[in-house]
Amino acid sequence: MTEQQLVERLRAAGCVFAEDEARVLLESASSAAELEAMTARRVEGEPLEYVVGWAEFCGLRIGVDATVFIPRPRTEFLVAVAVELTPPAAVVVDLCCGSGALGLALAASVPDIELLASDIDDAAVACARRNGVAVVQGDLFDALPDRLRGRVDVLLANTPYVPTDELDLMPREARLYEAAVTLDGGSDGLDLQRRVAAGAAHWLAPGGSVLVEASERQASTAAAIFEAAGLSARVHYDDDRDATVIVGTRPQ
């Protein structure tokens, strides 16, 4: 199969970025038979990242297993904001880590951080571990060792924030292939962020910050959640990425 034939098959299947996807498939397949099998999976609608087994995020190639949340380009903005807040040798926790992409990207940009990730999902924990991340399994803060209490400089928490009644509006790839637990944020999308805000002050170091992602329309509510938990809140926007990040900081 030539590259042009592959592009045409992908385009006919509705792949918006057919040329880019064709290059990734050609690079990833080790034989014509494997290329055909991978192409068939993609044409059927399986996310490209699951087909090839990795996602590009912040210039890194992150291994992604089936059902594990696929890191989105917009979330690179959360990492960019975190980089500005993270001193060398900082203690960093990546809650709801999925593949471990956020922690890995931050570690690639800030030297010598002490990174621990956690997730409740078996597949996510296994995936992050294969990606070389130190990871523990449990429900949010329940998984963290007591030695980190009051010592965390930066807390990354890319919690799901899609309201339950809007899950059916998500792209077909996400609805059919990614685990619902990685997408469903409850009635208004902010259930997990409320739990993160409630626990963050007990784990953050004085002056430490927690970062979450939300939609622009959720931003004011999310900021108010952090303020109610005793943290100062700032909202950051990136129009190019269509990204919104809320930072809650523990007072010094």
Report d(CA 131, CA 13) in Å as an integer: 31
Whats the size of the chain, residue-wise?
Answer: 252
DSSP label at residue 169? G
Hey, what domains does the chain have and what are their CATH numbers? 3-63 (no CATH), 73-249 (3.40.50.150)
Of 16, 14, 18, nearest to 5 (Cα)? Answer: 18
240/13 Cα distance (integer angstroms): 27
Tens place of pLDDT per residue across the chain (252 aa): 788 888 989 999 888 899 999 999 999 999 999 999 999 999 999 999 999 999 999 999 999 999 999 999 999 999 999 999 999 999 999 999 999 999 999 999 999 999 999 999 999 999 999 999 999 999 999 999 999 999 999 999 999 999 999 999 998 889 999 988 899 999 999 999 999 999 999 999 999 999 999 999 999 999 999 999 999 999 999 999 999 999 999 998
The structure tokens listed for 190 are: 């902010």
What string of DSSP letters covers 137-155? ESSGGGGS-GGGTTTEEEE
Task: Report which of 27, 20, 51 is spatially closest to residue 38, judged by C-alpha positions.
Answer: 51
Q: Is the dihedral of CA 183, 230, 148, 114 positive or negative?
A: positive
- Rounded (to 5) percent helix, strand, coil in the chain: 45, 20, 30
Residue 158: both structure tokens together: 């890319």
User: What dihedral angle (degrees, nearest 10) is formed by the CA atoms of 162, 163, 164, 166?
Assistant: -80
Q: How far is the C-alpha of 238 from the C-alpha of 37, rounded, in Å?
A: 38
CA 130 to chain centre: 16
User: What is the C-alpha to C-alpha distance for residues 11 and 17, in angstroms, rounded to an integer?
Assistant: 8
3-state secondary structure of 235: strand
Q: Is 121 within 8 Å of 179 (Cβ atoms)?
A: yes
DSSP state of 184: B
Rounded CA gap, 192 and 3, in Å? 43
